[in-house]
Structure 1
Amino acid sequence: MNKPKIGVIGIPGKWSTEVLADHLEEQTGFRAVIDMNQVELRLDTQQLMYQGLDLMTLDGLIIKKISEVYAPATEDRIHMLSYAERAGVKMFSPTQSVGNLINRLSGTLALQQGQIPMPKTRITENPEQAFLTIREFGSAILKPLYSTKARGMIILTQDDSDDFIRHALEEYRQNQSIYYIQQTVKLDGRDLGMVFVGGDYLCTYARVGNGDSWNTTINSGGRYELFVPDAELIELGRRAQSCYDLSFTTVDIALTDQGPVVFEVSAFGGFKGALEGCGVDAAKVYADYVLKECVLKGDTKA
Structure 2
Amino acid sequence: MIKDDLKIAVVGIPGKWSTEVLADEIEAQTGFRWVIDIEKVVADLSEPSVRYEGRCLCQLDGIIIKKISQTYSPTVIDRLEILRFVEKCGVQIFSKPQEIIRLVDRMSCTVSLAKADIPMPPTIITEDLDAAFDHVEKFGEAILKPLFSTKARGMEVLCCDDGKKAVKQRLKDYYDKQGFFYLQKKLALPGKDMGLVFLGGEYRGAYARVSGSDSWNTTIHSGGKYAEAQPSDDIIDMAYRAQSQFDLSYTTVDIAETEDGPVCFEVSAFGGFKGAHEGLGLNMAKEYADYVIRTLSTAS
Q: TM-score, normalised by structure 1?
A: 0.97
In structure 2, the residue matched to 1:219 is 221
Shift, 1:233, TM fit? 1.3
Shift, 1:44, TM fit? 2.1
Asked if residue 86 in structure 1 is aligned to residue 85 in structure 2, the reply is no
Deviations 1:128-187 (A, max 9, x none): 111001111111100000000000000112322112211210221122120000111111
In 1, the alpha carbon distance for the partners of 2:264 and 2:184 equals 12
In structure 2, the residue matched to 1:25 is 27
Deviations 1:75-126 (A, max 9, x none): 1111111011122111100011000011000010110111100000010001
In 2, the alpha carbon distance for the partners of 1:88 and 1:177 equals 37
Deviations 1:50-96 (A, max 9, x none): 00111000011111101111111111111111011122111100011
In 2, the alpha carbon distance for the partners of 1:158 and 1:209 equals 24
Tell whether the 8 Å contact from 2:160 to 2:167 is kept in structure 1 after alignment: no
In structure 1, the residue matched to 2:130 is 128
Extract structure 1 runs of 4+ deviating beyond 4 A. none
Shift, 1:190, TM fit? 0.1
SS of equivalent to 1:25? helix
Deviations 1:200-223 (A, max 9, x none): 001100000023100000011110
Tell whether the 8 Å contact from 2:72 to 2:150 is kept in structure 1 after alignment: yes
CA RMSD of aligned residues (A): 0.9
Q: Structure 2 residue aligned with 1:96, among 88, 95, 98?
A: 98
Shift, 1:224, TM fit? 0.3
- Mark the runs of 5 or more structure 1 residues left unpaired by the alignment: none
In 2, the alpha carbon distance for the partners of 1:174 and 1:195 equals 37
Deviations 1:228-262 (A, max 9, x none): 12222111110010010100001000110100000
In structure 2, the residue matched to 1:258 is 260
Q: Structure 2 residue aligned with 1:268, among 258, 267, 270?
A: 270
SS of equivalent to 2:124? strand
Identity %: 52
In 1, the alpha carbon distance for the partners of 2:54 and 2:7 equals 15
In structure 1, the residue matched to 2:297 is 295
Q: TM-score, normalised by structure 2?
A: 0.98
Q: Structure 2 residue aligned with 1:179, among 174, 178, 181?
A: 181
SS of equivalent to 2:289? helix
- Mark the runs of 5 or more structure 2 residues left unpaired by the alignment: none
- Quick one: which amino acid aligns to residue 132 of structure 1? D
In structure 2, the residue matched to 1:285 is 287
Tell whether the 8 Å contact from 2:103 to 2:109 is kept in structure 1 after alignment: yes
SS of equivalent to 2:14? coil
In 1, the alpha carbon distance for the partners of 2:279 and 2:159 equals 32
In structure 2, the residue matched to 1:49 is 51
Q: Structure 1 residue aligned with 2:207, among 198, 205, 208?
A: 205
In structure 1, the residue matched to 2:108 is 106
In 2, the alpha carbon distance for the partners of 1:175 and 1:28 equals 46
Aligned residue pair count: 298
Greater alpha carbon shift after TM alignment, 140-149 vs 203-212: 203-212
Asked if residue 164 in structure 1 is aligned to residue 166 in structure 2, the reply is yes
Greater alpha carbon shift after TM alignment, 227-236 vs 64-73: 227-236
SS of equivalent to 1:174? helix
In 2, the alpha carbon distance for the partners of 1:180 and 1:36 equals 29
In 1, the alpha carbon distance for the partners of 2:179 and 2:81 equals 22
- Quick one: which amino acid aligns to residue 105 of structure 1? M
Tell whether the 8 Å contact from 1:189 to 1:211 is kept in structure 2 after alignment: no
